[in-house]
Chains A and B, each alone.
Chain A
Amino acid sequence: MRIALVGNQNSGKTTLFNQLTGSNQHVGNFPGVTVDIKRGKLRGNNKLEIIDLPGIYSLLPYSEEELLARDFITNQNIDAIINIVDATNLDRNLYLTLQLLSLEIPLVVALNMMDEAKNSNIFIDLNKLEEMLHVKVVPISALRQEGLLELIDKIQNVYKEKNIVNADFLFKKEEKIFNSIQCLKACFDKNNAIKFHHKYLAIHLLETDESSIPNILKKEDKEQLKEEIEKLENYYHKKHEEIFVEIRYKYIESITSKCVRKNNEITKEQKKSLNIDRILTHKYFGLPIFLLIIMFIFYLSFGSLGPLLSDLLATFLNDFNGWSKTILLNCGVSNTFVSLLVDGIFEGVGSVLSFVPTILILFLCLSILEDSGYMARIAFMIDKPMRKVGLSGKAFVPMILGFGCSVPAILATRTLHSSRDRRLTIFLIPFMSCSAKLPIYALISLVFFKAQAPIVISALYLGGIVLALLAALMIKLIFNSKPIPFIMELPAYRFPSFKSTTLLMWEKAKDFLKKAFSVILIASIAVWFLENFNARFEYVTDSNNSLLAIISQAITPIFKPLGFAKWEITASLITGLSAKETILSTLEILLGSASNICALIGPLESLSLLVFISLYMPCIAAFAAIKKELHSTFEAIMQMIFQTSFAWLITFAVYQIGKVMIMCVL
Chain B
Amino acid sequence: MTIADLKLNQKGRIISINGKGLLRHRLMEMGFTPQTIVTLRKVAPFGDPLELTIRNYEISIRKDEAKMIEIMEIKE
Contact = CB atoms under 8 A, between A and B. Distances in A.
A149 interface: no
B35 to A, nearest CB: 9
24 contacts: A57-B30, A62-B25, A89-B57, A91-B55, A92-B30, A245-B28, A249-B33, A265-B56, A266-B53, A281-B42, A283-B45, A284-B45, A379-B60, A380-B51, A385-B46, A485-B61, A485-B62, A486-B61, A486-B62, A488-B61, A489-B59, A490-B51, A491-B58, A492-B58
Given A241-B24, A383-B48, A384-B48, A60 B59 contact: no
Given A281-B44, A281-B45, A383-B49, A488 B59 contact: yes
B65 A487 contact: yes
B19 to A, nearest CB: 10
A286 B45 contact: yes
A286 B57 CA distance: 21
B69 to A, nearest CB: 12
Contacts of B28: 241-242, 245-246
Contacts of B26: 58, 60, 62, 485, 487
A91 B30 CA distance: 10
A204 B24 CA distance: 16
A57 B49 contact: no
Contacts of B43: 283
A186 interface: no
A91 B45 CA distance: 29
Contacts of B47: 384
A588 B23 CA distance: 58
Interface band, chain B:
35 or more
Contacts, number: 118
Interface of A: 57-58, 60, 62, 89, 91-92, 95, 208, 241-242, 245-246, 249, 265-267, 270, 273-274, 277, 281-284, 286-287, 376, 379-385, 387, 485-492
A94 to B, nearest CB: 10
Contacts of A241: 24-25, 28
A380 B60 contact: yes
The 5 closest A-B pairs by CB, nearest first: A384-B46, A91-B55, A490-B58, A245-B28, A241-B25
Given A91-B57, A485-B23, A488-B61, 9 more contacts: A241-B28, A245-B33, A249-B31, A266-B53, A270-B57, A270-B58, A284-B45, A376-B60, A380-B44
A485 B65 contact: yes
Nearest to A250: B33
Contact of B30 (A286, A487, A490): A487
Contacts of B62: 383, 387, 485-486
B29 interface: yes
A290 to B, nearest CB: 10
Chain B: interface secondary structure?
Answer: mixed
Nearest to A8: B57
A565 to B, nearest CB: 47
B64 interface: yes
Contacts of B34: 246
Contact of B49 (A92, A284, A486): A486
B72 interface: no
A245 B29 contact: yes
Interface of B: 17, 22-31, 33-34, 36, 41-49, 51, 53, 55-62, 64-65
A539 B13 CA distance: 80
Contacts of A491: 58
A241 B27 CA distance: 11
B55 to A, nearest CB: 4
Contacts of A89: 55-57
A387 B60 CA distance: 15
A491 B28 CA distance: 19
A385 B60 CA distance: 16
Contacts of A384: 44, 46-49
B55 A92 contact: yes
Given A284-B45, A487-B27, A62 B22 contact: yes
Contacts of A249: 31, 33, 36
A491 B60 CA distance: 10
A281 B43 CA distance: 9
Most chain B Cβ neighbours within 10 Å, of A249, A277, A283, A382: A249
Contacts of B41: 274
B61 A487 contact: yes
Contacts of B64: 485
Given A486-B60, A490-B60, A60 B45 contact: no
B15 to A, nearest CB: 13
A249 B34 CA distance: 11
A251 B33 CA distance: 13
B53 to A, nearest CB: 8
Contacts of A492: 58
A92 B31 contact: yes
B20 to A, nearest CB: 8
A91 B44 contact: no
Most chain B Cβ neighbours within 10 Å, of A246, A485, A489: A485
Nearest to A91: B55
Nearest to A262: B56
A488 B28 CA distance: 14
Nearest to A246: B33
A284 to B, nearest CB: 7
B25 A208 contact: yes
Nearest to B59: A489
Contacts of B31: 91-92, 95, 249
B23 A488 contact: no
Contact of A490 (B25, B55, B59, B65): B59
A487 B30 CA distance: 9
A387 B63 CA distance: 12
A486 to B, nearest CB: 5
B60 A488 contact: yes
A492 B26 CA distance: 22
A91 B59 contact: no
Most chain B Cβ neighbours within 10 Å, of A91, A245, A266, A282: A245
Nearest to A277: B42
